[in-house]
Amino acid sequence: MTSSRNARAVRRVGLSLVVVGLLTGCGPEPQQGTSPQGAPTWEGYVNNTPIPTPGVGGLGTASPATSPSAIPMVAATPRVAPTQPPAAPAAPTPRITQVPPTTQAAPAAPRVGTLEGRTIVLDPGHNGGASTAFNNKLVPAGNGRRKACNTSGTATSNGVPEHTINWRLAQALKATLQDAGARVVLTRTSDDGAGPCVNQRAAVGNDERADAAVSLHADGSDAAGARGFHVIRSTTMTGGARVQAESTALADAVVAQFDAIMPRSNYLGGGTATTPRDDIAGLNLSRVPAVMLEAGNLRNATDAAKLTDPAFVQTQAAAIRRALEAYFAGR
């Protein structure tokens, strides 16, 4: 790690790449009232213990140089008087054997992950269970707006709820990001109960001073043949023009990676797979780079089959990880 990298790492302590499932814009209006009733049970987001800096033990412990073997002294051949019988042949000069340096393996350097020092916030969209009253209370949405705390989200035609699909992807993504050295913070602690409202989910990324926040959703369009992914970004972020520009770069990175695994949305974004919005609270209120992924359309049977396939969940997580690695490269 270079000194500048170290300095940045220090500066970035506490930042996480948060994938925030803040947004409520997925598909049709939620089927409110169908969620289990119950008081909010959110007790705060998961604040993972920062990954300790790898120890430096073992570094710089150069192997001692191997001293070459001492060169044996060669006994001088005694001079022989002429009257003496011919001298016996001189003792052969001992061979000087070159001892090769010890080929001791260098100590293994501590692994530095591609996302070491990054804090990433992941927001698995919606909640496992929230009352209508809980969801309907109005909260600040940024840009002078107020909107509902949350929605129930959409579902596949055979009844798999979006909140569970988002949760499964968040778990897979969290694991692979941690493998890459990131500190990962989720906005809700389980797929049960009522998670935080959308404005509070934005606050998680801000409070953690996340390096990036990703909200994980899947869409719910009933338009015939509608399928594909798109990435939402805000045009009115609290973080201002710089954060918006960074969020655009992050969105572009996600699109570039998802292009390899899913078709682009054929019903939003005009073929760009990017949808600028000004009404998404979780993005509007963010002071850190943040985007919302709509990984596919759950009302489409083809998309739904992919997004509920455990193997494809891993494929998505790997694509988002590559997107984050690409986004952070050089930053």
Q: Which residues are catalytic?
A: 294
Tokens found for residue 57 = 């033990």
Quick note: the x/- pattern for Zn ion over 28-67, rule CB under 5 A, is ----------------------------------------
- 254 Rama sector, left if φ>0, alpha if ψ -120 to 50, beta otherwise: alpha
* DSSP string over 190-249: -SSS----HHHHHHHHHHTT-SEEEEEEEE---STT---BEEEEESS-TTHHHHHHHHHH
Cβ contacts of 8 within 8 Å, gap of 6 or more: 117
Q: Tell the smallest beta-carbon distance from residue 270 to Zn ion (Å).
A: 21
* Nearest residue (CB) to Zn ion, 129 versus 153: 153
217 sits near Zn ion (criterion: CB under 5 A): yes
Q: Is 221 in contact with 55 (CB distance < 8 Å)? A: no
26 sits near Zn ion (criterion: CB under 5 A): yes
Quick note: the x/- pattern for Zn ion over 143-172, rule CB under 5 A, is ----------x-------------------
Closest CA to 324 of 179, 166, 167: 179
299 sits near Zn ion (criterion: CB under 5 A): no
Distance (Å, rounded) from C-alpha 177 to C-alpha 179?
5
* Nearest residue (CB) to Zn ion, 114 versus 164: 164
* Nearest residue (CB) to Zn ion, 126 versus 183: 126
232 sits near Zn ion (criterion: CB under 5 A): no
195 sits near Zn ion (criterion: CB under 5 A): no
Q: Which residue has the tokens 């035609």?
A: 157
Q: Tell the smallest beta-carbon distance from residue 122 to Zn ion (Å).
A: 14
Closest residue to bound Zn ion by CB: 26
Distance (Å, rounded) from C-alpha 104 to C-alpha 227?
57
Q: Tell the smallest beta-carbon distance from residue 162 to Zn ion (Å).
A: 5
124 sits near Zn ion (criterion: CB under 5 A): no
Span interacting with Zn ion, options 188-196, 199-207, 217-225, 320-328, rule CB under 5 A: 217-225
Q: Tell the smallest beta-carbon distance from residue 26 to Zn ion (Å).
A: 3
Q: What is the dihedral of CA 106, 108, 113, 116, to 10 degrees?
A: -90
User: If 0-12 CB within 10 Å is exposed, 13-18 middle and 19+ buried, where does residue 192 land?
Assistant: middle
Residues forming contacts to Zn ion in the complex (CB under 5 A) are 26, 125, 153, 217
